Amino acid sequence: MRKVLEGAIILPAYGTLGRWILNYFIREDTMSTRTPIIAGNWKMNKTVAEAVSFVQEIREALQGIRGVDKVLCPPFVALVPVRELLAGTDIGLGAQNMYYEEKGAYTGEISPLMLEGLCQYVILGHSERRAYFGETDEGVNRKIKAALAHGLTPIVCVGESLEQHEAGETEAWVSGQVRAALAGLTPEQVRGIIIAYEPIWAIGTGKAATPEGANAVIAGPVRGTIAELYGDEVAQAVRVQYGGSVKPQNIGPFMEQPEIDGALVGGASLKPDFVDIVRIAAEVKGKG
C-alpha cells in the first residue's frame, strides 16, 4: 500500500495521465504474477571466441539465481555456440534483430525461420536499429508478427529522444510507438510479448532515467496504452523492462518500482556485472 500511495503522489508530476493512474492502483493484485526478466543486449560486441569464454565464465553463477528469467542476446554468429553452452541451463537465448520474411533474396538478413528453435527471444525495434538502419514502426510491427508466428518472444523497444523528453512529448511518442507495435495483434499475442522502455537519452550515456520517472512512463504510455487497446487484464500481464545505463549500482531502485519487471542491459551485460544485476533483481523482487 505504501507504494501505491507513493505512485499517486509521483504520477501526476509526470503529466496528465488520466485514467492511467487508475490502472496503477489495481496493479498490486497482479504484479506478483509477472516473472521479472533481465536480458543482456551485447550489441555488436565480442567475437565468437570471446562470447564462448564469457558465457563459460558467468554461466554457473547465473544459473543459480532463481525467480528471474535471464536472457543473453549475443550477435548472430555466436548464437549457435552460445546455445550449446546454455543447453540444460535455465538461461534463455535471444537474437538482437530479425527480418520478417521467412526466406528469399534479402542479402545479409536473418529470418524468423532461422531463429525458430535456435533461440527463444528476439529484440525488435531497438532505438539503434531505428536510428542507424531506418527501422520504422510499420517494419517493427511486421517483425513482431513474424516472430510470434515462429514461436519467438519479441522484446520490443520503445523510447523517446532527448529532444522529445525535454519538449514534454514522451507520453504521446511512447504511446504512439506502443500502439504501432501492437497493431493487428490479438490479446493472446500481446500477453506474450515483452516491452523494453528505453529512453534514448539514457542508452549508453551513463545517465539512467530516475526509477520513478521510468515507472511513470511504463504505468502510463506503455501499460496504459495496452489497457486502452486490450483491457487492464492484458496490460497487467505484459512484462515491461526498463533499459538505459543499467548497472549493479542502480538496478535495485529500478526493480523496487511496481511497474518495472526487469531490465534490458547493454554495456553492463558484457561483463560479470550482469550476474550482479540479475542477483540484485532477484533479491529485490523476491522481497515482494
Catalytic site positions: 126, 198
Pick one of 215, 236, 245, 250: the residue that binds ligand PGA (CB under 6 A).
245
Task: Tell the smallest beta-carbon distance from residue 246 to ligand PGA (Å).
Answer: 5
Pick one of 62, 93, 174, 246: the residue that binds ligand PGA (CB under 6 A).
246
Instruction: Spell out, one character per residue from 267 to 286, where the chain touches ligand PGA: x when CB under 6 A holds, - when not.
Output: xx------------------
| Residue 90: strand, helix, or coil | coil
- Could you tell me which residues are beta bridge partners of residue 124? 156
| Residue 204: strand, helix, or coil | coil
Instruction: Kindly tell me which of 74 and 266 has the beta carbon lying closer to ligand PGA.
Output: 266
Instruction: Kindly tell me which of 128 and 212 has the beta carbon lying closer to ligand PGA.
Output: 128
Which distant-in-sequence residues (6+ apart) come within 8 Å of 122 by Cβ?
94, 95, 96, 97, 98, 112, 115, 143, 147, 152, 153, 154, 155
Task: Tell the smallest beta-carbon distance from residue 257 to ligand PGA (Å).
Answer: 17
Which distant-in-sequence residues (6+ apart) come within 8 Å of 174 by Cβ?
158, 159, 160, 197, 217, 221, 222, 225
Task: Tell the smallest beta-carbon distance from residue 161 to ligand PGA (Å).
Answer: 14
| Residue 145: strand, helix, or coil | helix
* N residues, the chain: 288
Q: Count the residues of the shown chain that bind ligand PGA, applying the rule CB under 6 A.
A: 13
Instruction: Spell out, one character per residue from 17 to 56, where the chain touches ligand PGA: x when CB under 6 A holds, - when not.
Output: ------------------------x---------------
| Contact of 152 with 119, CB cutoff 8 Å | yes
Which distant-in-sequence residues (6+ apart) come within 8 Å of 108 by Cβ?
none
Is 198 a binding residue for ligand PGA by CB under 6 A? The answer is: yes
The grid cell for 138 is: 510499420
Is 243 a binding residue for ligand PGA by CB under 6 A? The answer is: yes
Is 244 a binding residue for ligand PGA by CB under 6 A? The answer is: yes
Match 538502419 to its residue by C-alpha cell.
133
Where does this chain touch ligand PGA (CB under 6 A) — which range of 44-52, 64-72, 169-177, 239-247? 239-247
Instruction: Kindly tell me which of 7 and 244 has the beta carbon lying closer to ligand PGA.
Output: 244
Task: Tell the smallest beta-carbon distance from residue 204 to ligand PGA (Å).
Answer: 4
User: CA separation (Å) from 69 to 36, 43, 125?
Assistant: 6, 20, 21
Task: Tell the smallest beta-carbon distance from residue 194 to ligand PGA (Å).
Answer: 12
Closest residue to ligand PGA in the complex (CB): 266
Is 264 a binding residue for ligand PGA by CB under 6 A? The answer is: yes
Is 241 a binding residue for ligand PGA by CB under 6 A? The answer is: no
The residue type found at 200 is: I
Pairing label, strands 153-158, 194-197: parallel
The residue type found at 222 is: V
The contact set with ligand PGA (CB under 6 A) reads 41, 198, 203-204, 243-246, 264-268
